[in-house]
A and B are shown apart, each in its own frame.
Chain A
Amino acid sequence: MSDLRELYLEMVTDHAKNPRHRGKTDPCDCIGTGHNPLCGDKIVVTISLDGETINDVKFDGEGCAISTASSDLMSEVLRGKTIQDAKDIFHGFHELVAGDGTAESVPKKLAVFSGVREFPMRVKCATLAWHTLIAAIEGNKEASTE
């Protein structure tokens, strides 16, 4: 049986209760909206860029603990990374929560989401922010987990 404690690690619940990166970036070079019809969650991700480099990422909206913590930690690890880095990190993250990836293939802070894999119904909560980020970067504006 999957272990709840693996899902709601202290780092996850802490970032869920006290997100550090909620808001809107200024300037806002990219904006994307994400929707998870399963739980009704909607988030907005904004990015400020310096050429190909991500200066800042912020998110807004209400979501569950997994989605909020994932949005917050995503914003945290992406600062100073390039757009290509962001895409690579998402790939590793997706493999971690939904595929065969290991914690080694993602930035250390994201390893706290390893437990999500045991809760298939929650994978979309963990990836919503990332899908929204990619939509923002690619100018699609809207992402959906469906």
Chain B
Amino acid sequence: MLNTEIIADSFPALHQTIGDNRLVYLDSAATTQKPQCVIDAIVSYYENDNANIHRGVHTLSQRATQAHENARVSISRLLHASRPEEMVFVRGATEAINLVAQAFARPRFGEGDVILITEMEHHSNIVPWQLICEQTGASLEVVPVCDDGSIDMDAYKSLLIPNVVLVSMAHVSNAIGTINPVKEMCKLAKEVGATTVVDGAQAVGHLQVDIQDIGCDFYAISGHKMFGPTGIGCLYGKYELLQEMEPWQGGGDMILSVSFEETTWNDVPFKFEAGTPNIAGAIGFGAAVSWIQEIGYDEIFKHEQELLAYGREVLLAIDGVELIGASKQNAGVIAFTLKGVHPHDVGTILDHAGVAIRTGNHCAEPLMKRFGLAATCRASLCIYNTRKDLDYLGVGIQEAMRILG
């Protein structure tokens, strides 16, 4: 049995009080807290190895380069990529998706082509495609979501016409936590010859991801949603696809040679990494990956599933609580509303009790509209949460009902 209290001990930010109350952090879908080892890795890099990478012969530069590239290797192993070169460092999932849009889709798509996304996407998996449609003349189609928050697979199948050139879908919804059948969706997309993009921002911190098993062409992740620092993430791309693609930003590091007559690109993945990268971020990200591997996805998933079931129970016992999109295949995200109480007020009252949740549209306005809501409350769970945390959530919600219900 996992001792989550010991796990929580590794997260310094969790050990504080908000007013008179112990902090209960239930907003890990926005960003996870960071374990000490990640913080230490970043500090140690700056204290001992700080140098620019890929271009120095001196010792510090060699160390920094090594650490940066080791992180790439760790991340590629975590996701079961076939080689580390398939992992491009970016700022986060948002930049990863924009990279695919601009460097892959834009030069290839045109009038008559269809890009398919789902109704539950984060804005970062909607807007880049809207830009592509504007830039290329392609059109955007949307797969509807069922009442329970799952993707309407029948609709998906009927929308998969031969004109569909690309399908982009969330692995796990940030707003309601649905785990989508991405393997099946990619397989179906392949049958019409579409390129597949999976937004894994909410998946990799919580469940085992095997990119090759999923069979997608691209997979986007953010370090900060899986115990790493902000400002670093990865785009996985199939090696052959990355090779075919032109760069999207020019600058140092992404070239082999530059002259005014002709410039030649560096190899994959450096071709997509113009300029000095977020070295400390990559190193912190690597440390986060090691931390996840130490705990193991089996334990993480089991623990969060158990908390999810308990959390739903706690909430449903309160009069006036309604769960939104509580599908069977769900990650540790509980979206809910309180009868007669606006989510914003719930957020303030819970914060006062030390309980941090997220309220609003969760960067998924179309999904909110689908459920006829302007906003919801969202409690998102993580390996460091306990049943006690959910008890505090319950008490805070009862207080909100007492004041405003």
Contacts and interface: CB of A to CB of B under 8 A. Distances in A.
Interface of A: 1-2, 4, 7-8, 13, 16-17, 38-42, 62-66, 68, 119, 121-122, 125
A64 B345 contact: yes
3 pairs of A and B residues whose beta carbons are closest in the complex: A1-B19, A64-B342, A40-B374
21 contacts: A1-B20, A2-B352, A4-B352, A7-B348, A8-B345, A8-B349, A8-B404, A16-B404, A39-B343, A39-B375, A40-B374, A41-B374, A62-B374, A63-B342, A65-B342, A65-B345, A65-B404, A66-B345, A122-B344, A122-B348, A125-B344
A38 B345 contact: no
A51 to B, nearest CB: 37
B30 to A, nearest CB: 14
Contact of B344 (A4, A8, A42, A64): A64
Contacts of A42: 374
B137 to A, nearest CB: 30
Nearest to B405: A17
Residue among B344, B359, B374, B404 with the highest chain A CB neighbour number at 10 A: B344
B375 A40 contact: yes
Residue among B345, B349, B352, B404 with the highest chain A CB neighbour number at 10 A: B345
B340 A17 contact: yes
Contacts of A125: 344
A16 B341 CA distance: 10
A68 to B, nearest CB: 8
Contacts of A1: 19-20
A2 B342 CA distance: 20
Interface string B1-29: 00000000000000000011000000000
A78 B344 CA distance: 26
A40 B349 contact: no
A65 to B, nearest CB: 5
A17 B361 contact: no
A121 B356 CA distance: 14
Residue among A8, A39, A122 with the highest chain B CB neighbour number at 10 A: A39
Contacts of A63: 342
Contact of A39 (B20, B344, B403): B344
Nearest to B369: A40
B360 interface: yes
Contacts of B357: none
A78 B20 CA distance: 40
B368 interface: yes
A121 B19 contact: no
Contacts of B361: 40
B398 to A, nearest CB: 14
Interface in B338-380: 340-345, 348-349, 352, 359-361, 365, 368, 374-375
